[in-house]
Amino acid sequence: GGPALAARGHRLEHVESLTVAQAEVLARYGVIASMQPSFDALWGGPDGMYAQRLGADRAAALNAFAPLAATGLALAFGSDAPVTAPRPWPMLRAAVHHRTEGSGISPRAAFAAATRGAWRAGGVRDGMAGTLDPGAPASYAIWEVGELVVSAPKDSVQRWSTDPRSRVAPLPDLTPGTADPVLVRSVHRGRVVYAR
């Protein structure tokens, strides 16, 4: 049955051409969609490789993050290295500024898919991994960043306040053309794995 299947935490890799109806079924069964936002940045859009090889209509429906997430389907983002560079900020920027109108998701949703979503897709479902909370595994990265902002994609409904008093956590500015944050240190389960 559905609950037993959902408890298994299945995931599908390289989810690119999924319809909303298919996403609704997968969401009911707790399937996680592992996706690569950089694919849209590299090959999406009306003149990209997807449109050239699949046609503009099919290409426009690929990697539709917002419509899929709206069904309740859990998203997990990754790079598929070495196909695309394992650089998180351009990946998040690609998810937010999708080349098809209406398919981009908020920076917060993209960040969650790349952190908590990735942990869940990897089989860690303790409710804490991918967060910075007391008692959570000490796995994190420290970034040198310019301005922090609270924003939403231009083509979506904003579901939270951007007023600083609302205490919504800001993220680096993901506007196209902005500089990527620079990694200073990364720690996995309490052990430093990189230090600049």
148-149 vs 171-172, strand pairing mode: antiparallel
DSSP string over 33-60: EEE-HHHHHHH-STTSHHHHHH-HHHHH
Rounded distance between C-alpha atoms, residue 9 and residue 3, angstroms: 10
Local confidence pLDDT in tens for the 196 residues of the chain: 888 888 888 999 999 999 999 999 999 999 999 999 999 999 999 999 999 999 999 999 999 999 999 999 999 999 999 999 999 999 999 999 999 999 999 999 999 999 989 888 888 888 777 777 887 778 899 999 988 888 755 554 445 455 555 556 789 999 999 999 999 999 998 899 999 9
Look at the pTM and tell me if it is higher than 0.85: yes
Domain ranges of the chain: 2-195
Phi, psi of 21 (to 5 degrees): -60, -40
Q: Are 77 and 110 in contact (CB under 8 A)?
A: yes
